[in-house]
Amino acid sequence: MFADKVAKELSADVTLANELEANDGRLTGRIKVRVSLNQKRRLVEQIAGQLGIELSQVALVGDRAFDLSPPECFRIAYKPKDDAARRGADVVVEDNDLARILHYLV
Tens digit of pLDDT for each residue in 26-55? 999 999 998 888 888 999 999 999 999 999
3-state secondary structure the chain: CHHHHHHHHHCCCCCCCCEEEEECCEEEEEEECCCCHHHHHHHHHHHHHHHCCCHHHCEEEECCHHHCCCCCCEEEEECCCCHHHHHHCCEEECCCCHHHHHHHHC
Tens digit of pLDDT for each residue in 63-91? 999 889 889 999 999 999 999 999 999 99
Domain containing residue 64: 55-106
Q: Is residue 30 part of a domain?
A: no
Number of structural domains (the chain) is: 1
Q: Is residue 28 part of a domain?
A: no
Q: Is residue 34 part of a domain?
A: no
